[in-house]
Amino acid sequence: MGAKRAVLVGINYPGTKAELKGCHNDVARMRRCLVDRFGFDESDIRVLVDADGASWQVLPTGANIRRELARLVGDARPGDLLFFHYSGHGTRLPAETGQDDDTGYDECIVPSDMNLITDQDFTELVQKVPHGCLFTIVSDSCHSGGLLDKTKEQIGHSTRQNQAQRRELEERSGSSTSFRSFLKETVRDVFESQGIHLPRRGHGQSGHGDDSDEKPRDIDTDSTTDVHIKNRSLPLSTLIEMLKEKTGKDDIDVGSIRMTLFNLFGDDASPKIKKFMKVILGKLQQGEHGGVMGFVGALAQEFWKAKLEGKQEEELEPAMKQEVHSVQEVYAGTTARVPSNGVLISGCQTDQTSADATTPKGASYGALSNAIQAILAEHGTVTNKELVLKARKMLSKQGYTQQPGLYCSDEQASVAFIC
């Protein structure tokens, strides 16, 4: 057996519009579980939390999380066991290239500084794991079902497959239907960026953009009676508000989010964000101002003007040095080949929200993280598939509508969790 190493990230966003309560506790419990149950050495567990007073603390900024994950994978050898636990907000970015066929979403986790990490970042990270080394990811967040995009869905309700089927039907009935669907989502995102939340039908507790507090239904255990629930989903409107606060600019809106992230974080921004910037800058340089400028907004115009004047060559270098072979590479939702040595356990499906719960006695936790700890305490070895099925059953019994998912190969589904 090789080495066992882990990176644990818990983000409560204290004092912000995005504040959660249970993420630090999730990480602390998982850290103790890795040591006591799975035999990890404490020195091989890196913990990133936005809390005061922890001697082992590293702030969970986007750059720090990427750095720790790169180190985790970079040092891996065949036979090693790698583990990443994330408790915090998830969000999704709509398309911003202005291309007619770029109609997807990038699912992201939300570091403490808003320096988003995209699903493609995770997919490309897992691809670097050497053969014979397993990388398990637990993401107790919203919009987490696609973090290893295109990986086989072992347990879930096939959100992406359903979307593909709808697109196929739309294509059969005419492209106007597809355009109307895209337009509807675009209009929704514009309203949300202005703080206006439009209800979605058919998701119950699990609506995409709803950041309201909710209670689980029909709770039948003492520990979850009258539990206070928040969603671990960061609405687009809140993300934009927080970016405005960080930058001091009021012109950030749907269409300039990626530009803003690059402007803020430069070389520390998501690789996919940097590739997106290279494509947009290339379009602007070639004089394709029409549709593109309508999407990327005034901030892009100011940014490009500064480049023409030669004032920000160094700032643009992180984007220009990226390798991009086609514009489709930066489309929202586009990822590379399927990784075969990664296991993703998601807190919910891509169209649901994960619960951040606080009991009347003040105990806070993520619903999935709490279920995992309860199942491990009750059982001996459990496979990845058994763990997720038991978690689904437990959460349903407790009254939560979120449905954890499992994404991995057939072989990894029957492998013991973490062991």
The catalytic residues are 89, 142
Query: Phi-psi bin for 220: left (phi > 0), alpha (psi -120 to 50), beta?
Result: alpha
Q: Rounded to whole angstroms, how far apart are CA atoms 343 and 127?
A: 12
Helical ranges in 37-134 per DSSP H: 62-74, 119-127
Q: Are residues 351 and 206 in contact, defined by beta-carbon separation less than 8 angstroms?
A: yes
Question: Residue 186 has which token pair?
Answer: 């675009």
- Residue 34: how many CA atoms within 13 Å on its side-chain side? 27
Task: Give every CB contact of residue 147 below 8 A, 6+ residues apart in sequence.
Answer: 107, 109, 119, 122, 123, 137, 139, 344, 346
Please give the structure tokens belonging to residue 96: 């911003």
- E strand or H helix at 33, and its extent? helix 23-36
What type of residue sits at position 169? Answer: L
SS3 call for 134? strand
Query: Alpha-carbon distance 229 to 111, whole Å?
Result: 21
